Structure 1
Amino acid sequence: MLRFVLLCQLFAGLTLTGNGFADESNPTPLILAHRGGAYEFEENTMQGFQTCYERGIRGFETDIRMTKDGVLVLLHDDTLDRTHDASGAVEDKTADQLKDVRTKQGQSFLLLDDFLKYFQDKPGVYLELEMKTSNKSLYPDARIAEYCQKLYAAAKQYKPTGSDYLFTSFDERPLVAMRQQDADWPIAIIASKPLSTEFIERAERLQATHIACKISGTSRDLVQKAQAQGFKVNGWPGHEVKDYYLAIGLGLDVACTDIPTAIQQTKENLSAKIEK
């Protein structure tokens, strides 16, 4: 049934709005490349982000951490061990110590400035900058202000006109700090659970503009309730194409996925079949 819905949408010739979100005339969720397409490329690498962009993806999610000497970098885990040829936390290292660090397949360790510079001349992009500060031993309260000030300044400096850059986190502390810096900048609260009334109320309390929830267990009624209150809703994780069909059925604004180019190709193939 969900496949049929997608076919109907493609048959109708629907296109994304300027900011990539679904709207009343276009119910197709924005494809968000989680960590630059973590199941298709090495995560949080320029190869992944660049290849996704070149293949038509316009939504990207990444993870931001801060080195010992205050440089912002891209890394999901609390340590380098799983993804790189080094070990330990970047929070315990200087930026200079990370210069020679490579991914398991030999790619350069990515700094936030280099990531943002790539998108600086590419308007119409939607970026989710996840603030990985939940580990309070790495990010005590005293470090949150510096982290947020530097991230806000970098995003504001490099963001091109016509793009949407979003600060997101599981941790409420940086969301509160970002809202204090800018009353209008979009922010999202993330939780490892389906959408609920309590979750919506939490987002409202934080003055969030977006909600990121687990797609499994989320209902269409609650998605519509959140949207009626002005929130954009992002569903995750997306590991298979069928997860994107579910995102369509739920009426989500954003579908966070580890296989963005596979979904993009599926949509293009279906569209081509319909045109025939």
Structure 2
Amino acid sequence: MLEKTVVFGHRGYPAQFPENSLAGFAYALAHHVDGLEFDVHLTKDQVPVIMHDERINRTSDGTGRITDYTLAELRQFHLAHGEVIPTLAEFLDLVGDHDVQLNLEFKTDKIQYPGIEALVLGMIHQAPLKRRVIFSSFHLPTLKTCQQLAPNEAYCWLTDKPVVNAAAFVADEHLSGLHLNHYQAGVPVAERIWTVDRPELAKQLFQQHVAGIFTDDFVTMTALRDATVTGDKVHRRVG
């Protein structure tokens, strides 16, 4: 039986809300999004917070690196519409027992945060989530550290480059899949594509039954996915 491509809200619902905001995540959850993708950094006082960039300049009214601020100091800055920079704990409280697939990206490719892997994994394991979390990163050593701490979780490598001998690479690195910015034909592993906002590309990916796509507009892409697979025998992919 073919599996339905999971549509992830990339940083929530940035087509309508500030990216990586609690408001965007809440809207997506209320409207039954398949999955949510979000990015985690550490503050100066070791609090996991959700933001894409290492610096707060682009998406908030402040400047500087997340790692140079305590959480209390970060709270003086805001995203658009007065939204605060959310913590991972706040996000997990919001998700609660919603039936949603989470993809947590460790943002460690530019700044390595000592201890982030153990801290984040511990919080995830304590949360009453319905589904197994997918953990991803561009920084392969981060995933290796996670594997040592929690070998039974799902880990996926993010890359914008073609992966040679993908099946062997995934097996050798003990990964559950690849997160690519392009479709790579003939890859016999779970393949999730970012960032997919063009309907014509999305339709092609749905027809290929890729494991997932990450999109800034999950509403449009979910409707397109459902229209594309009408008549197919599919079920929702888990984890």
TM over 0.5: yes
Count residues with an aligned counterpart. 230
Q: Is the 8 A contact 1:66 1:147 kept in 2?
A: yes
> What SS does structure 1 have at the residue aligned with 2:49?
strand
Higher strand residue share: 2
Unaligned runs of 5+ in 1: 1-23, 227-231
Q: Which structure 2 residues correspond to residues 111-190 of structure 1 after superposition, within 5 A?
A: 111-122=87-98, 124-135=99-110, 138-139=111-112, 143-144=113-114, 146-160=115-129, 162-190=130-158
Deviation string for 1:158-198 (max 9, x for gaps)?
142x312111100012101110011111111110134x333
Q: What corresponds to 2:210 in structure 1?
A: 252
Q: What corresponds to 1:240 in structure 2?
A: 198
> What SS does structure 2 have at the residue aligned with 1:73?
strand
Structure 2: how far apart are the matches of 1:192 and 1:37? 22
User: What amino acid does structure 2 have at the position aligned with 1:105?
Assistant: H
Q: Which structure 2 residues correspond to residues 55-66 of structure 1 after superposition, within 5 A?
A: 55-66=31-42
Measure how far apart 1:214 and its partner are. 1.8
RMSD value, Cα? 2.0
User: What amino acid does structure 1 have at the position aligned with 2:83?
Assistant: Q
> What SS does structure 2 have at the residue aligned with 1:87?
coil
Structure 2: how far apart are the matches of 1:198 and 1:67? 38
> What SS does structure 2 have at the residue aligned with 1:164?
coil
Structure 2: how far apart are the matches of 1:177 and 1:270? 39
Unaligned runs of 5+ in 2: 231-239
Q: What corresponds to 1:82 in structure 2?
A: 58
CA 1:86–1:266 in structure 2 vs 1: closer, same or farther (change >3 Å)?
A: same
More off after superposition, 240-249 vs 107-116: 240-249
User: What amino acid does structure 2 have at the position aligned with 1:198?
Assistant: N
Q: TM-score, structure 2 length as denominator?
A: 0.89
Structure 2: how far apart are the matches of 1:166 and 1:44? 17
Q: Is the 8 A contact 1:125 1:164 kept in 2?
A: no
Measure how far apart 1:148 and its partner are. 0.6
Larger radius of gyration: 1
Q: What corresponds to 2:171 in structure 1?
A: 204
User: What amino acid does structure 2 have at the position aligned with 1:126?
Assistant: Q
Q: Is the 8 A contact 1:35 1:63 kept in 2?
A: yes
Q: Is the 8 A contact 2:191 2:210 kept in 1?
A: yes
Structure 1: how far apart are the matches of 2:54 and 2:179? 21
Structure 2: how far apart are the matches of 1:34 and 1:90? 20
Q: Is the 8 A contact 2:206 2:225 kept in 1?
A: no
